[in-house]
Structure 1
């Protein structure tokens, strides 16, 4: 049974280290001192789960060779008992189980909790059986000193857990099985009431129901104590000794019982010995059972020194001697009345240490408090026979006409578990009357307040409470967040008032389709944790107007020749164009003037723009020195002049102008194809005077003349070339090239 050492000697510590080391070196052995255990399946994320086996081992009688470094769990389909997989669970934790009262420790009762666990995957396309699944671990053997089963040293254990499919009705279904806690660490005393809480928790909030069950034996044997894997169900139960069974597992009056709703175990054992018992915890979701966890455990019953239950009386009046009568009296707590009661508690046993505690029965929230010591010793040297304490109920408790029940409990430090005396106190309570706070503001009297962008809106609010309860000032907005608009409320206490200063520098965030803002201010108090509040609303109307700025150019910009076309400024190479721009704004908004082009840099085209921006006025100068740089860009020269007003909703003024360079007029292109070099000075030479004129990067490059067989006979880079022919009649071909890639081809006949 459980035992936690308070202090380890060096020799014992060395022995313990050797004991733990043997754990990993030992081969499977007959473990005759298994106390019990249970399994859990904890959902992680997605298809990931952690499978856990908690195994409890008799650390006093058990042999290190009986401890396992791992155990194998097997998962089966409940519908057909098909094996889904085997999971090797390595040992991940090895700790002692604590006693409820360490002072009751017995050297021969010590239990270890061994935790075996591993992360597994339950794929959604595999674990879909409507009946769910079960997982089992089989191990032999039980503690051979068990008193209530047949041949305990040869009896095995099957740790068993049921869980649902991970997909139900076509939807993902996630579940973590119940966690039953804590493990039993104490012993029971013969003919004394033993109680223990086996109640568990469920991470998914499912309902849990507890029942006594017969522990499972399974298929492991003393000759094969650790099977390679579990066998499929059914698992045979252990065999009870004569006269015992599922509903009478431990002899007693009453025998072992468990509360179906809470998991609380009770028994008044009549026989000495070591008794095994089983508990199941069924899991329900929306009224449907989805899983079951089983705990297999044992309880030692010993002869204990007689421990008399402590006793307690409650005296309602501060100076009275008439005790409170549970079940007949009701304390009625009213404003201005006495809210305290006296407690007198004692124990007939010598050297008893008594402790008071409170347990609400049918309510939650505020609890009474002890204004004096809640524990002490009686009937030892220098100690009194009877202790006293004062219990006071807060004035703020409000039972709202109901009768609240409170258990006042005194417990001793007896073994194995404290004995208790409980006085159940029925009471009603009415809190003191309280008036709501009041709230005033300096905003107004003309409402709504009117503001424009840039204005600073300020006013004060003040809250007062007639009962001098602490006040908190709050600011909210009707369908908007005041702090998101930059509004603030600072507050502080001045005497009995809570004063606040509202401040709002109105900016563009307040400009919208609905410019009326209703600010709500609240003075709130919380007497007896019940909120009381009063509110006032201050509307603020934000007015916003904006007139577009005016942009004027001197000289005036050209007028488009047709709707949808841009105005065009045309200049020749060497010319200069200058324009000045003036911007004004009737609202005196800040103005910014720019000149930009989307497809070229102004400087690359010989253009520049300078601006002087300001409040209400702006000016700018545009200059264009026309050079071949503008022509060589080979793209439209579109410049947008823009004037923007710095306001919440700007109304920019824009004017786009196209600038073009005037090209020189070239004669109509004529390509000649015959010459007669006969000396008559008429058409004696070949030349092309009507070729396109040179312009910026469009320059004449060369002319080449070839025979009909492709042999070059003439080449010149002079635009005014002249070729007299080769003497005899023949046909020639020529090619004219320009620097911009243009070419002109033709043929030429020479006649003598």
Structure 2
């Protein structure tokens, strides 16, 4: 399109093509320069730590909404990240536009058509790994953009002047450890204008998320590499050129005035009394220090418009300490003394010489951190207008709980008008002392008897406590000691509060050794309306838990059993199979404690062995029981499959805090059937006349015993040759026909064996 337009202009005007082309280029270029040259008001960057290696870079660009061309409003800008020691570029970061809003005036009523500012926020996240960003001199980020407003009056060729947004940040690791830092941020934008010849002040300071110290000074704004023809150059490293001041101006005289522009080194507060109207750019540096070492800086560029404003006189304020008198408070000489019972309110008179001036009162603490006084009447009003007074009056009252702890404290009372561009003030610096109302401590008494109290386990201790506060402040009662005790409180009535203490004394209160003095501790405290706490002296109740315990006595009818606690060996009770054994046990306790009898087998179950202990209900201090045992074949083999001794332990247990159980141990054994009658014959006469002696038989074999039953008989010669075998319990053997000595072996199923001999006589 453009080259066709050039050709038309050249060919349609004979003899004038070169002139027309030059004119057109100048026209288009001038339009482009105007679009690029009238939009940047100022701005700054900040870098915030997120987590891990992740940070967030933000650029706040302030745009002239009156003169700025919409074509100069970028959808994105590009930042370069550089090593400060070498100026080597380490990263490029695209910052998209995320917000576009207007900046509000401090007083919207002071709006002028020549001044309207937009805040454009560009933001993106980036990674700063410790393996790369560990240089001792740190790093910097920069964004370059052209151009500034053409109407700026304190620099050379402002329409071609660019801005470099610049910040420095430290390495992310120091001494081998992570070093986290977020640069200062939340710098307030400047939307207000200054008035010619009037003092202009503005809070231009930021905040540091890490609590680092911030120091401000004035610097010459950075220009950089951007130009009107290349308004958005690719990121380039430092050094960045500076803007050029007009003659007579410099870094320390950026906005002419008396005084010229200054900034508070610690507060970041701007101040200037401009001596010339116009639009002025200025630069501020905010340096960041941690433990006395500089770790970074942020540069801010902005512009301030100075206009001729209507005359606005400052308001005036007077403080009258007396509610009725007219004696003025003299700042720097007088001190207000607030004591209990004294007047808590002072009067304020404020006015303004300007017509229709609307005034507002406010307070600002200087070194007082307690509850501030409050206005009890209207704090705003209009003066010098029909129907309104010329002088306004307000009341300022101190709370009863104001307390300066014996020191003189200070706050300011301010009156501000609604003048433009910024309100004018008058301030009264107030010094005062304040004493809290009296707050006497409470008293505490109890109905407990003479001490130490003598208590027994199972007894309930109860008494009342009464707290009294002479100031009728709310009371509270506390208790320590006496595990399990409760303190029930009645609602406070007037100056008194009663607590009912109750405690069921348990075994945990018994000391070792018993009879030691213990203490219950009670306290009373009151809290005044000013939240000051007074505590009464502790009230102590001493007590002794009386406890004694004699061991119970266990007796029994077991034959040979010794009394409980005797070192004698336990008796052995032998009971024949099929018989029933019975014994009785008795317990007696001198303290009349509840007794319980029990029995336990040593690695066997009593019931499985046929044993049983039956107890009889008895009064406190007594116990009775009957032990019975009817041994069976099962009882004879409950241990390891063989007839063994069964050990039973009988215990008498008392129910008390420090029980002393008593035991008796008895051993039991099943007796095998009597084998004393087993007397087999040892002589046979096969050819004799007596028939009874002709055969070898055993009519009195040992009886079968549970699983031990007759299995067989074997008969051998004296040389070991077996000559007879029979599994019949009623066997008969008539000999071998040869006289001599023969040997027999009786075998039972459990392996029990009997051996003997018999002689055969022919």
TM-score, length of structure 2 as denominator length = 0.68
Gaps of 5+ in 1: 1-28, 666-692, 701-717, 721-738, 743-752
3-state DSSP of counterpart to 2:222 = coil
Can you list the C-alpha shifts for 1:41-66, whole angstroms capped at 9, x where unaligned?
2365xx45542414133272363773
CA distance in 2, matches of 1:70, 1:658: 101
Alignment of 1:70-85 (within 5 A): 71-72=78-79, 74=81, 76=83, 78-80=84-86
The answer as to 2:138 corresponding to 1:133 is: yes
Gaps of 5+ in 2: 1-35, 675-703, 712-726, 730-748, 752-762
Deviates further, 592-601 or 482-491: 592-601
CA distance in 2, matches of 1:82, 1:579: 105
Question: Shift of the alpha carbon at 1:413?
Answer: 2.3
* Residues 1:445 and 1:615: Cα distance change in structure 2 (over 3 Å): closer
Aligned equivalent of 1:440, options 440, 444, 464 = 444
Deviates further, 397-406 or 156-165: 397-406
Q: Is the 2:47–2:57 Cα contact (8 Å) retained in structure 1?
A: yes
Larger radius of gyration: 2
Q: Is the 1:558–1:569 Cα contact (8 Å) retained in structure 2?
A: no
Alignment of 1:266-345 (within 5 A): 266-345=271-350
The answer as to 2:390 corresponding to 1:385 is: yes
3-state DSSP of counterpart to 1:364 = coil
* Residues 1:546 and 1:262: Cα distance change in structure 2 (over 3 Å): farther
3-state DSSP of counterpart to 2:312 = coil
Aligned equivalent of 2:412, options 400, 407, 415 = 407
Alignment of 1:556-571 (within 5 A): none
3-state DSSP of counterpart to 2:537 = strand
Aligned equivalent of 2:73, options 52, 66, 79 = 66
Question: Shift of the alpha carbon at 1:375?
Answer: 1.4
Which residue does the alignment assign to 1:14? none
3-state DSSP of counterpart to 2:42 = strand
The answer as to 2:542 corresponding to 1:536 is: no
Question: Shift of the alpha carbon at 1:189?
Answer: 3.1
CA distance in 2, matches of 1:571, 1:96: 111
CA distance in 2, matches of 1:597, 1:281: 90
Can you list the C-alpha shifts for 1:504-534, whole angstroms capped at 9, x where unaligned?
4444565667872351413334475554433
Question: Shift of the alpha carbon at 1:418?
Answer: 1.8
Alignment of 1:206-285 (within 5 A): 206-219=212-225, 230-285=235-290
* Residues 1:90 and 1:503: Cα distance change in structure 2 (over 3 Å): farther
Question: Shift of the alpha carbon at 1:198?
Answer: 3.0
CA distance in 2, matches of 1:603, 1:90: 90
CA distance in 2, matches of 1:190, 1:697: 132
Can you list the C-alpha shifts for 1:232-274, whole angstroms capped at 9, x where unaligned?
5444444433333332232332222222222222222333444
Which residue does the alignment assign to 1:422? 427
The answer as to 2:372 corresponding to 1:367 is: yes
Which residue does the alignment assign to 1:116? 123
Which residue does the alignment assign to 2:40? 33
Q: Is the 2:370–2:403 Cα contact (8 Å) retained in structure 1?
A: no
Which residue does the alignment assign to 2:523? 521
Aligned equivalent of 1:189, options 179, 183, 195 = 195
* Residues 1:429 and 1:117: Cα distance change in structure 2 (over 3 Å): same
3-state DSSP of counterpart to 2:47 = strand
* Residues 1:457 and 1:445: Cα distance change in structure 2 (over 3 Å): closer
Which residue does the alignment assign to 1:464? 468
Which residue does the alignment assign to 1:198? 204
3-state DSSP of counterpart to 2:538 = strand
Which residue does the alignment assign to 1:490? 489
3-state DSSP of counterpart to 1:535 = coil
* Residues 1:602 and 1:411: Cα distance change in structure 2 (over 3 Å): farther
Can you list the C-alpha shifts for 1:434-468, whole angstroms capped at 9, x where unaligned?
362341312446334444554444433334344x2
* Residues 1:576 and 1:257: Cα distance change in structure 2 (over 3 Å): farther
Question: Shift of the alpha carbon at 1:424?
Answer: 1.6
* Residues 1:470 and 1:546: Cα distance change in structure 2 (over 3 Å): same
Q: Is the 1:549–1:583 Cα contact (8 Å) retained in structure 2?
A: no
Deviates further, 91-100 or 51-60: 91-100
The answer as to 2:107 corresponding to 1:101 is: yes
CA distance in 2, matches of 1:232, 1:540: 83
Question: Shift of the alpha carbon at 1:282?
Answer: 3.1
Question: Shift of the alpha carbon at 1:39?
Answer: 0.4
* Residues 1:435 and 1:426: Cα distance change in structure 2 (over 3 Å): closer
Question: Shift of the alpha carbon at 1:663?
Answer: 11
Q: Is the 2:316–2:415 Cα contact (8 Å) retained in structure 1?
A: yes
Q: Is the 2:552–2:654 Cα contact (8 Å) retained in structure 1?
A: no
CA distance in 2, matches of 1:173, 1:642: 72
CA distance in 1, matches of 2:583, 2:230: 107
CA distance in 2, matches of 1:697, 1:172: 87
* Residues 1:276 and 1:602: Cα distance change in structure 2 (over 3 Å): farther
Q: Is the 1:593–1:643 Cα contact (8 Å) retained in structure 2?
A: yes
Q: Is the 1:570–1:660 Cα contact (8 Å) retained in structure 2?
A: yes
The answer as to 2:502 corresponding to 1:500 is: no
Can you list the C-alpha shifts for 1:359-403, whole angstroms capped at 9, x where unaligned?
222322132222211112223443322211112234554445543
Q: Is the 1:316–1:340 Cα contact (8 Å) retained in structure 2?
A: yes
Q: Is the 1:37–1:297 Cα contact (8 Å) retained in structure 2?
A: no
CA distance in 1, matches of 2:56, 2:708: 83
CA distance in 1, matches of 2:483, 2:132: 51
Deviates further, 601-610 or 361-370: 601-610
Which residue does the alignment assign to 2:19? none
Aligned length: 640
Question: Shift of the alpha carbon at 1:79?
Answer: 4.8
CA distance in 2, matches of 1:545, 1:407: 71
CA distance in 1, matches of 2:669, 2:90: 84
Can you list the C-alpha shifts for 1:66-121, whole angstroms capped at 9, x where unaligned?
33457546263x45556665555566655554443344445651322525243746
CA distance in 2, matches of 1:441, 1:52: 68
* Residues 1:118 and 1:92: Cα distance change in structure 2 (over 3 Å): farther
Q: Is the 2:526–2:534 Cα contact (8 Å) retained in structure 1?
A: yes
